[in-house]
Amino acid sequence: MTSTSHEQRNPYKGNPPRPWIRLRLRSFKDTLSEIDLLADTGSPFPIIISEASLLLLKRQAGTDMETNFGLLHGGWLELDMPELGLTQRVEGYGSDVVAATVRSSSPDFAGLAGLPLLRMLEYGGDTTSFWVRPAATS
Amino acid sequence: MTDKVELEKAQQRQLNQTAYRVLKEEIRQRYPRGRFVAISGGRIVADAEDIKALDPLLQAQGLYPPDVLVVQAGVDYPDFAIILSSLPRA
């Protein structure tokens, strides 16, 4: 991963190669955790991680959701990435099925970053890497 | 965490999820759209414009915020969602 003060650029990772983003989250106990998430515009949820990770990181509980990957347990997660303009809480979800599925691409992946989160940023890619940077302010 | 504590937490969780389904229309009518509403023990216990502002309100009541369900008034959560992921099922 390389970062300027305003861009995070990550070489594709896994088999097959996948785009990904590294997020920093602040837990209720005020600890910071960095997790690598597969970037997936096909996911309608901001963040999906394992049940155990959600239990450790959630600030408040969220609504549960039935999906084609089974039941997702909701939990509000606090982003701590001022360099990308991300300091708000987003409604994350816990699913061991989704977490195991993304780990089949790379054991480094802790889950999925979906379109609602990617839309908080600018994002793109080329032949070698995927990048995100703060959303342009108009 | 002991099995008993885990079971109690799971029961509380289910209680709050069910309570939200029952209270959803009332929440929509009572609160401005987007307002954050906290549910614990099957009932509304706090509300705030900013979700982070809920934490001290909940702690003042002796509640542990990670166990409290927080929803937004007027937000329509679908009954079922499709993740169009290119990943195969594990």
User: Quick one: tokens of A81?
Assistant: 């990435």
State pLDDT tens for residues B5-64. Answer: 888 889 999 999 999 999 999 999 999 999 999 999 999 999 999 999 999 999 999 999
Give this prediction's pTM.
Answer: 0.93
Indicate the residue type of A121.
L
Beta-sheet strand order (sheet of A129-134): A2-4, A7-11, A129-134, A121-125
User: Could B66 and A59 be called an inter-chain contact, meaning their C-beta atoms sit closer than 8 Å?
Assistant: yes
State pLDDT tens for residues A30-70. Answer: 999 999 999 999 999 999 999 999 999 999 999 999 999 89
Half-sphere exposure of B7 (CA within 13 A, CB side): 3
Burial class (CB in 10 A: 0-12, 13-18, 19+), B83: buried
Residue A75, chain B, CB below 8 Å: the answer is: yes
User: Could B89 and A40 be called an inter-chain contact, meaning their C-beta atoms sit closer than 8 Å?
Assistant: no
What ipTM score was computed for the predicted complex, to two decimals? 0.92
Residue A87, chain B, CB below 8 Å: the answer is: no
